[in-house]
Each structure stands twice: as structure tokens, then as C-alpha cells.
């Protein structure tokens, strides 16, 4: 059974591509037809590729890997934040800072600064500092939270990256490729599918379409996390059983 039905995709407008004059010929295999100067995406292919991406993400998270969501265009910002927080993924939904992955050591220092400012407020340091300095620190914290808040818990490279609009997020994709991080993306008719490892042909401009596809990837993460949790609990149970058996054996020998 498919993760998303054809009806859901149609209702969300996932099939609407860009104007025919704004297209990438490499997307031709994923285009069904042209209507009133707009390319219509072949949703039968989209359904199959959603399932492929879903299975990849589920298996990756089942193995304990984390996913990084990236979508900085206005239509994607809310969905990226909401769904990433729902499934426990990292996210960037405002400007991608160059070097976020390839120069993570520097980014980590800025994240550390964000944590330090938060601690200063919590431990009462703000109460003894000059008002102007406190205002400056709060402004710096707000700026850091805006750009780095979604990755402040990231201590190592993600197992994969999910992107809305690879054309806009080309710097993020370049960094992922440089580090060998697989890319899953919603790819519209004006994008280059060759830049993506797991493409989902679809409308990356309509909020409903972005919401539906982002939610689906988040569901894959949640399903994978359940598997990982079950595996961890099973391992813990086996270890407890072994320990109990060893204890019983030792007692009987005595």
C-alpha cells in the first residue's frame, strides 16, 4: 500500500509544475503532460518515488541515524519547522549559512554561544549586567536561534538531508554531496533531478503540497524511530535475561 494516495496528491496540488518556459529537460521523464502553459507532473511516478524515499528514511532512522530538514523558501518554512519538531529531526528553515556542514566546527562555536546566552538568562547573570548589554545579548540570541535553533542539538553529521526545492538550496546540496550525505528532495519541473539521490517529483511552491510531502517524510522518521526503540528495548531485555541467568548459575554453583 502506498504511503500517500493519488487523491491526496491531487487535492494538495502536487501535480502542478512550473510554466513550460521555466523547466529543466532532465525532468521530462516525470512530466505527464502540458496544460495551459503549465507542466503537469506524472503522479503515478511520484507515488512510487515517495514510497522509495519513505522506505529509505525509515530504514535509516531505524538504524539510529538523524535527518536534517532544509527549506528556507517562504512556502516551506512553517512545514519544515513543524514536521521536524514533530519527528525529532534537525532543521534549517531560514537562510542556509555557508559551511553549516562543511565547516561545522565554526558553526558549533556559534551554537555554543547560543547555549551560553541561554544559561546566562537562566542563572540570573542578566540581572547583574547593564541593561544595554542584556539587550545586545538577547538580540544576538534571537539571531542565532533564527538561523541555528533547529540544529542546536546536532553534534554529528546527519545521516541524510531532506530538501524542499533543491534549486534554491543548492549550497546545502553541494555541502551534503561533498560529505557523502544522501539527499531526498521535492523536485519541481525547473530542478535538476541528478543532484538528488531520492527525488520526489512535485510542486515545491504550493504550501499544501509541501505540507503533505514533508509530513510524509516525518512519518517515515517516526516509524523508523519506533523500530529503533523496539530494538533497543529488545536488546536491553536480552541483556537483563543473560545477567539474570548468570546470577542464577553463580548462585547454584555456590
Question: Which band of pLDDT confidence, cut at 50, 70 and 90, is reported for residue 56?
Answer: very high
Distance CA 27, CA 57 (A): 23
Is residue 135's pLDDT more than 90?
yes
Share of the chain above pLDDT 70, in %: 89
Length of the chain: 254
* Prediction pTM value: 0.87
Q: DSSP state, 130?
A: -
Please answer whether residues 217 and 84 qualify as being in contact, where contact means their C-beta atoms are separated by less than 8 angstroms: no
Q: Diameter of the chain by CA atoms?
A: 87
Grid coordinates standing for 245? Answer: 541467568
Give residue 2's pLDDT.
79
**Chain segment 226-254, per-residue pLDDT in tens:** 986 765 554 455 456 545 545 554 555 55
Cβ contacts of 68 within 8 Å, gap of 6 or more: 89, 90, 91, 92, 151, 154, 158, 160, 161, 162
**Chain segment 10-37, per-residue pLDDT in tens:** 999 999 999 999 999 999 999 999 999 9
Mean pLDDT of 55-80: 97
Which of residues 62 and 242 earns the better pLDDT score?
62
Sign of the torsion angle spanned by Cα atoms 200, 206, 211, 214: positive
Grid coordinates standing for 234? Answer: 529488545
Cβ contacts of 6 within 8 Å, gap of 6 or more: 43, 44, 47
Give residue 185's pLDDT.
98
**Chain segment 211-221, per-residue pLDDT in tens:** 999 999 999 99
Q: What is the CATH number of domain 102-156?
A: 1.10.287
Owner of C-alpha cell 533497543: 232
Give me the CATH topology for the region 6-101+158-240: Rossmann fold (3.40.50)
**Chain segment 109-130, per-residue pLDDT in tens:** 999 999 999 999 999 999 999 9
Give residue 99's pLDDT.
96
- CA-to-CA separations, 122 to 5, 76, 245, in angstroms, rounded: 47, 32, 48
Give residue limits of the domains in the chain: 6-101+158-240, 102-156
Strand arrangement of the beta sheet that strand 16-19 belongs to: 16-19, 38-41, 31-35
Give residue 247's pLDDT.
59
**Chain segment 145-203, per-residue pLDDT in tens:** 999 999 999 999 999 999 999 999 999 999 999 999 999 999 999 999 999 999 999 99
Please answer whether residues 202 and 181 qualify as being in contact, where contact means their C-beta atoms are separated by less than 8 angstroms: no
- What average pLDDT does the chain have? 92
Distance CA 202, CA 205 (A): 9
Query: Number of helices (H) and strands (E), helices first, in the chain?
Result: 8, 8
Q: DSSP state, 152?
A: T
Is residue 209's pLDDT more than 90?
yes
What pairs with residue 35 in β-bridges? 38
Give residue 227's pLDDT.
80
Distance of CA 122 to the CA centre of its chain: 30
Mean pLDDT of 90-100: 96
Distance CA 160, CA 215 (A): 16
Distance of CA 70 to the CA centre of its chain: 6
Cβ contacts of 170 within 8 Å, gap of 6 or more: 195
Amino acid at each position: 500500500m502506498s504511503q500517500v494516495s493519488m487523491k491526496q496528491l491531487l487535492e494538495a496540488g502536487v501535480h502542478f509544475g512550473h510554466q513550460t518556459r521555466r523547466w529543466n529537460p532532465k525532468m521530462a521523464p516525470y512530466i505527464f503532460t502540458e496544460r495551459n502553459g503549465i507542466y503537469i507532473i506524472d503522479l503515478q511516478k511520484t507515488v512510487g518515488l515517495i514510497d522509495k524515499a519513505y522506505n529509505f528514511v525509515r530504514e535509516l532512522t531505524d538504524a539510529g541515524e538523524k535527518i536534517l530538514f532544509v527549506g528556507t523558501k517562504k512556502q516551506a518554512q512553517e512545514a519544515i519547522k513543524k514536521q521536524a519538531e514533530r519527528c525529532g529531526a534537525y532543521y534549517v528553515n531560514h537562510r542556509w549559512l555557508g559551511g553549516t556542514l562543511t565547516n561545522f566546527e565554526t558553526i558549533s562555536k556559534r551554537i555554543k554561544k547560543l547555549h551560553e546566552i541561554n544559561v546566562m538568562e537562566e542563572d540570573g547573570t542578566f540581572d547583574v549586567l547593564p541593561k544595554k548589554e542584556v539587550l545586545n545579548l538577547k538580540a544576538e540570541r534571537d539571531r542565532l536561534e533564527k538561523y541555528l535553533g533547529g540544529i542546536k542539538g546536532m553534534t554529528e553529521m546527519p545521516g541524510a538531508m531532506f530538501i524542499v526545492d533543491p534549486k534554491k538550496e543548492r549550497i546545502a546540496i553541494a555541502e551534503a554531496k561533498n560529505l557523502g550525505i544522501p539527499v531526498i528532495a521535492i523536485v519541481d519541473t525547473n530542478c535538476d533531478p541528478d543532484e538528488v539521490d531520492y527525488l520526489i517529483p512535485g510542486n515545491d511552491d504550493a504550501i499544501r503540497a509541501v505540507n503533505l510531502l514533508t509530513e510524509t517524510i516525518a512519518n517515515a522518521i517516526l516509524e523508523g524511530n519506533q523500530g529503533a526503540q523496539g530494538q533497543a528495548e529488545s536488546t536491553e531485555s536480552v541483556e537483563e535475561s543473560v545477567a539474570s541467568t548468570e546470577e542464577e548459575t553463580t548462585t547454584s554453583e555456590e
